[in-house]
Amino acid sequence: MKFFIDTAEIEEIKSLSELGLVDGVTTNPTLIYKSGKDFREVIKEISSIVKGPISAEVTSIKSQDMIDQGIELAKISNNIVVKVPLTADGLIACKKLSSSNIKVNVTLCFSASQALLAGKLGATYISPFIGRLDDIGTPGLNLIKDIVNIYNIHKQDIKTEVLAASIRSPLQVSQVASAGAHVATIPPNIIYQMIKHPLTDVGLATFMNDWKKTGQKF
């Protein structure tokens, strides 16, 4: 499974890239706002660091505006993926951009039927938001399983990859991987939580202490 990093913070992207854990990056207007940087400039800067897909989201709710913005965003770098919302206008934009060989990430997906539409219209990625479903008492993981199942049944016609979004914990990352998601987009803090385990720390401390007792030097 590929790991996309859900952030617009350049230093976070650089640090995780050095670990070899960044297959791509996803951004949204909220993350751009938190970065405090110019939208186009931050996307351009990310593209200079990351060679994998970088999702940049449109800022309109009208289909033609989304299409126009998507065309402009795609000019920033050849690895830009245009992010559009799962609305009627967003689906129109998805179809048009995909037909023009521009990769599209359809975001804010909350049902398998929505995902089916996006797949039919040529989306490169579908982004089901599992954490937000969990927040309202609906198991988000079930949505990943349903979409993966539908896409697998219709894999001759649907090439869309399932990009699990709104990840809230390391457990959810392993769960969506087990469910067959192609990608998980993960906040940096969750990546670092995945690395850490108390038993790893205890075991390492024991090994280092015992090594000192040998009196040897490497």
- Residue 162 has, within 13 A of its CA and on its CB side, a CA count of 30
Q: Is the distance from CB of 70 to CB of 82 less than 8 angstroms?
A: yes
Three-point CA angle 164, 2, 125, nearest 5°: 50
**Exposed, middle or buried: residue 216 (CB in 10 Å: 0-12, 13-18, 19+)?**
exposed
Q: Is there a catalytic annotation at residue 212? A: no
User: How are the residues of the chain apportioned to helix, strand and coil, as percentages rounded to the nearest 5?
Assistant: 50, 15, 30
3 state DSSP class of 56: strand
Spot the catalytic one: 37, 51, 83, 212.
83
Q: What's the rounded Cα separation, in Å, for the pair 25 and 191? A: 13
3 state DSSP class of 129: strand
Q: What's the rounded Cα separation, in Å, for the pair 217 and 80? A: 50
Residue type, 140: G
Please name every residue paired with 18 in a beta bridge, in sequence order, or none if there are none. none
The catalytic residue positions are 83
